[in-house]
Amino acid sequence: MRHLTTLCIAVVILVSIGAADSWAAVGCTLNDPDRDTRRLFPESTGYKTHFITILEKGGGQLVRKIEERLGDSFEPVYETIDVPYAYYQIFKDKEHIGWVFGVNQKGEYGALQLILATDLKGKILNFHYQRISSPDAKRFRDKGFLESFKGLTLNDFLNYDPKTGKVNDPASPLSRIKNPIERNDIDFRATLRGLKKNLVQFNEFWIKKAMSNE
């Protein structure tokens, strides 16, 4: 019985680890794209979904470029080179009016799913947590905190250092956004890192492409 119990525990642990790893390696997609895109862009009449991996867009060279702009190294579980990132191209009739996209970011209690809605140039129109496993989730999902990110662009995040958790430009609008909890800053720093990475990748995948086609 003792051996059987030990074997069962080992199997449970292995299954749990495998499930966590397989989930972590999956990109951050919307739970209900039809509903969510309409909620984020009430005027929209449709959307087109694109899936992109760093592997197919530039491989290791692109990883190094993104890491340099991010100011941090990729996390080996959540940020593998073959993770597919979903980009929802939003339309009003035939006019392209915006984007919705997200990333998985390691937080204190597991992965955060950070979803952004932006205009065509990457200015944040809306931000929300699709997933956050934290006893403080309600405070992070507070309307005032989420809306403090509206209007920000990648340029506002470039002075944020994920390694230190500091905004190196005190004049940056990002420096005025405060951690909504006092217990610690783990999920707050994870949020800022994830949003910066999200915007860096969007810039690499789409903004530079659009500029090269002009």
Q: Mean per-residue pLDDT for 25-51?
A: 94
| For the chain, domain boundaries | 2-213
Residues 40 and 49: their CA atoms lie apart, in Å, by 15
Q: Say if residue 102's pLDDT is above 80.
A: yes
Q: Is the pTM of this model over 0.85?
A: yes
Amino acid 107: pLDDT: 95
Buried b (16+ CB within 10 A) or exposed e, 135-173: ebeeebeeeebeebbeebbbebbbbbbbeeeebeeeebe
Write out the two tokens for 188.
């707050």
Write out the two tokens for 96.
């392209």
DSSP summary character for residue 176: G
Amino acid 212: pLDDT: 53
Backbone torsions φ then ψ of 193, nearest 5 degrees:
-65, -45
Q: Say if residue 155's pLDDT is above 50.
A: yes
